[in-house]
């Protein structure tokens, strides 16, 4: 059973708490059409439809805050077990994809602009949005592997077993969602001539944000459950350390030597033995 230094538990708990808040918040504010409609409704109702010069920055703050929480979480997890090379290498990759998502956040807002953008600029914005989606999927995939590595560093066999199962199931679900998105983008780019298929594609495009949330919701939910169980294990190590202490070895009782009798024959053996005469 691995021992966990108590000085490393506080940054671990801060990182896990930031993941618990930042991950569902990022899904809500980064997916197009999920929260952006509420921001536009706020502008229409409160400001009477007048758009202020810095309103685009106000609409960008929730997305920056959510992705910033994920970056903060990964950096806090890096302060846990700095002597473990495998753990630090996995964290390095997670930091890379989190920073890529943070840098591509403004393109989520700019890609929705319908006026004043040339065709080349619109294509660049959409391309960066696709790169953001790909980086976010890779980050979520790598987060499952990171939680699996974290489970090996915590003294909880149930957590290890559950994380081993979910860390194998979640990548398959995410790859399936990524494959469905690729098929949709390829079919939409080919512009099929069928009228019924065009209506289906238009309906999917209108509800694309909500459909994407429904598709990634099982993977996000299982990832959050693994984060919660890791957090509970860390809290129990911090407040109930006696539950994870190994019991002292029980002394082995010395067995007394059994005296062997000189004559081990039985009367029945003597009765079955042939007559000496």
Mean pLDDT of 117-124: 68
Mean pLDDT of 207-234: 86
Tell me which of 156 and 38 has the higher pLDDT.
156
d(CA 121, CA 125): 6
Residues 67, 136 contacting (CB under 8 angstroms): no
Share of the chain above pLDDT 90, in %: 12
pLDDT score of 154: 84
Mean pLDDT of 89-112: 84
Q: Is residue 277 very low, low, confident or very high in pLDDT (cuts 50, 70, 90)?
A: very low
pLDDT score of 227: 92
Q: Is the pLDDT of residue 265 over 60?
A: no
pLDDT score of 213: 80
pLDDT score of 168: 83
What pLDDT digit, counting tens, does each position of 156-198 carry? 888 888 888 888 888 888 888 888 888 888 887 777 767 777 7
Outline where 104-207 has alpha helix (H). Answer: 105-110, 119-153, 157-190, 195-206
Q: Is the pLDDT of residue 117 over 90?
A: no
User: Would you tell me how many other CB atoms lie within 10 Å of the CB of residue 1?
Assistant: 10
Which among 142, 107, 102 is positioned nearest to 22, based on CA atoms?
102
Q: Is residue 246 very low, low, confident or very high in pLDDT (cuts 50, 70, 90)?
A: low
Tell me which of 271 and 76 has the higher pLDDT.
76
Residue-averaged pLDDT of the chain: 76
Q: Is the pLDDT of residue 119 over 60?
A: yes
CA dihedral of 234, 13, 231, 1, whole degrees rounded to 10: -30
Ranked by mean pLDDT, the top range of 30-39, 44-53, 176-185, 202-211 is 176-185
d(CA 190, CA 198): 11
d(CA 17, CA 13): 6
């Amino acid at each position: 059973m691995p021992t966990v230094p108590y000085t490393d538990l506080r940054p671990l708990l801060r990182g896990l708490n930031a993941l618990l808040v930042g991950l569902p918040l990022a899904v809500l504010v980064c997916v197009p059409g999920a929260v952006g409609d509420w921001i536009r409704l706020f502008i229409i109702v409160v400001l009477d439809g007048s758009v202020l010069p810095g309103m685009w920055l106000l609409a960008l703050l929730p997305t920056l805050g959510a992705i910033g929480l994920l970056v903060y979480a990964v950096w806090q997890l890096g302060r846990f077990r700095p002597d473990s090379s495998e753990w630090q290498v996995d964290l390095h990759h997670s930091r890379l994809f989190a920073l890529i998502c943070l840098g591509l956040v403004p393109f989520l807002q700019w890609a929705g602009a319908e006026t004043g953008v040339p065709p080349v600029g619109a294509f660049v914005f959409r391309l960066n949005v696709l790169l953001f989606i790909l980086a976010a999927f890779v980050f979520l995939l790598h987060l499952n592997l990171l939680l699996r590595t974290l489970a090996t560093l915590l003294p909880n066999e149930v957590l290890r077993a559950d994380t081993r199962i979910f860390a194998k199931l979640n990548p398959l679900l995410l790859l399936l969602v990524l494959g469905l998105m690729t098929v949709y983008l390829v079919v939409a780019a080919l512009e099929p001539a069928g009228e019924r298929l065009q209506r289906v594609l238009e309906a999917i495009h209108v509800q694309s944000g909500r459909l994407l949330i429904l598709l990634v919701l099982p993977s996000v939910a299982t990832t959050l459950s693994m984060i919660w169980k890791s957090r509970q294990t860390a809290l129990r190590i911090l407040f109930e350390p006696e539950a994870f202490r190994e019991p002292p070895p029980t002394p082995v009782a010395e067995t007394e030597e059994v005296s062997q009798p000189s004559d081990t024959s039985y009367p029945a053996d003597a009765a079955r033995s042939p007559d000496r005469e």
